[in-house]
Amino acid sequence: MILVDDRIGSVELAPLLSIPNSVCRLEFGDFAWSGHGPEGQVSIGVERKRISDFLSSMTTGRLSGHQLIGLSANFDFVYLIVEGVWRPERGTGILQVPCGKGWQAAQQGSRRFMVRDIYNFINTLQVICGVHVVTTYNDLETVKWLESCYSWWQKKWEAHKSHLQFRDSDHAHLVRPSLVARIANQFPGIGLGRARHLAEKFKSPIELVLATKEELEKVEGIGKTLAKNIVRQING
Q: Are 230 and 188 contacting, i.e. CB atoms less than 8 angstroms apart?
A: no
Mean pLDDT, the chain, integer = 88
Count Cα atoms within 13 angstroms, Cβ side, for 160: 15
Model confidence, pTM: 0.68
What is the pLDDT at residue 46? 97
Asked if 193 and 223 sit in the same domain, the reply is yes
Please state the domain count of the chain: 2
What is the pLDDT at residue 91? 94
What is the pLDDT at residue 99? 93
- With respect to residue 95, please indicate whether it lies within any of the assigned structural domains: no
Q: What share of the chain is helix, strand, coil (3-state, %, to 5)?
A: 45, 25, 35
- Give the length of the chain: 236
What is the pLDDT at residue 185? 85
Asked if 205 and 126 sit in the same domain, the reply is no
- Of 158, 193, 212, the residue at which a domain comes to its end is 158
- With respect to residue 96, please indicate whether it lies within any of the assigned structural domains: no
- With respect to residue 164, please indicate whether it lies within any of the assigned structural domains: no
Give dist(CA 220, CA 217) in Å, integer: 8
- The total of other beta-carbon atoms located within 10 Å of residue 106's CB is 23
Q: Which domain holds residue 229?
A: 179-235
Asked if 119 and 219 sit in the same domain, the reply is no
Asked if 130 and 226 sit in the same domain, the reply is no
Asked if 37 and 76 sit in the same domain, the reply is yes
Q: What is the dihedral of CA 64, 66, 69, 75, to 10 degrees?
A: -110
pLDDT of the chain along its 236 residues, tens only? 999 999 999 999 999 999 999 999 999 999 999 999 888 899 999 999 999 999 998 888 777 677 888 898 899 999 999 999 999 999 999 999 999 999 999 988 888 999 999 999 999 899 888 899 999 999 999 999 999 999 999 998 778 766 444 445 555 555 667 888 888 888 888 887 888 899 999 988 888 888 899 999 999 989 899 999 898 888 86
Query: What CATH number should be reported for the domain holding residue 54?
Result: 3.40.50.10130
What is the pLDDT at residue 173? 52
